[in-house]
Amino acid sequence: MTLHAAMAIGLGLLATTLAWGQEAPLDSPRCQQQCGAVLPRRIDNPREVQSCLGRCQALERLQPPAASTAGRPAAPAKPQARREVAAPAPPPLAAPEAGPHGAVYLAPAPSPGIGLAANMPDRNTAHRVAELQCIGQQGAACRLALEFHDRCAAVAQGVVPRGLALTQDPSTFQVMVATAGAGATAALAEGEAMAAYRRRFRGTCRMARSTCG
């Protein structure tokens, strides 16, 4: 212990002795807790507690305790610099539908109306061309039978002969069912149309029409 500390402790003890019998200033809460003081005034506590309080106060004068932050409201947090949030990227544009475009329109049986459009630049054009072909001069109420992106398309018809000879002339047969198919080649398109026909009709079948764009 340094000479100055010893002198401070001695002065504290002397002040404690002089303070007996008269009211003394309140000691710091830290010293009261450290010395076990149960009464707020030093003079009201036992002699050994008073001596402890005197030494503690003398030391505090030499080395003041660090300011306690207990019970103090927390200092307001410094506002952080506002970070610029990048706007979300717009969704990618939908890719155009893969081409070429094609469509098959068929008139309901017994009408033989057929409309084929292959290798069209867009979907709307394919539908318009095929539907107009199917409607033709008869004005049949045609319906979409197939939409495709292959190069070729074909239509098979299940027919019932109207006489002894079956020819390409629609007057020699009656259409019972029509099916469509598509493929990379005319042969593949015709094979698909024939396979679809066999699943629906067991009678006579004729390849009505095929086209490749």
Question: Contact 51/70 with Cβ under 8 angstroms?
Answer: no
Instruction: Work out the mean pLDDT of the chain and round it to a whole number.
Output: 79
Whole-model pTM: value is: 0.52
**What b/e sequence results for 168-184 when a residue is b if at least 16 CB atoms lie within 10 Å of its CB, and e otherwise?**
eebeebebbbbbbbbbe
Q: What percent of the chain has pLDDT over 90?
A: 33
Task: Give the pLDDT band of residue 30 (cuts 50, 70, 90).
Answer: confident
140-153 pLDDT tens trace = 889 999 999 989 99
Q: Flag the least confident range among 14-18, 131-135, 156-160, 199-203.
A: 14-18
SS3 content of the chain, % helix, strand, coil (to 5): 35, 25, 45
Residue that has been written with the tokens 């069209």 in this structure: 120
List the one residue out of 135, 136, 164, 153 whose CA is nearest residue 191: 153
The pLDDT value recorded for residue 165 is 81
Which of the four pLDDT bands, split at 50, 70 and 90, describes residue 180? very high
Distance CA 213, CA 201 (A): 29
Residue 123 has pLDDT above 90, yes or no: yes
Question: What's the pLDDT band for 18 if we cut at 50, 70, 90?
Answer: very low
For residue 204, pLDDT over 90 is answered with no
75 pLDDT tier (thresholds 50, 70, 90): low
Q: pLDDT tens across 39-65, in order?
A: 888 887 888 878 887 888 788 777 765
Candidate ranges 10-14, 171-175, 183-187; pick with highest mean pLDDT: 183-187
15-19, 52-56, 113-117, 172-176: range with highest mean pLDDT: 113-117
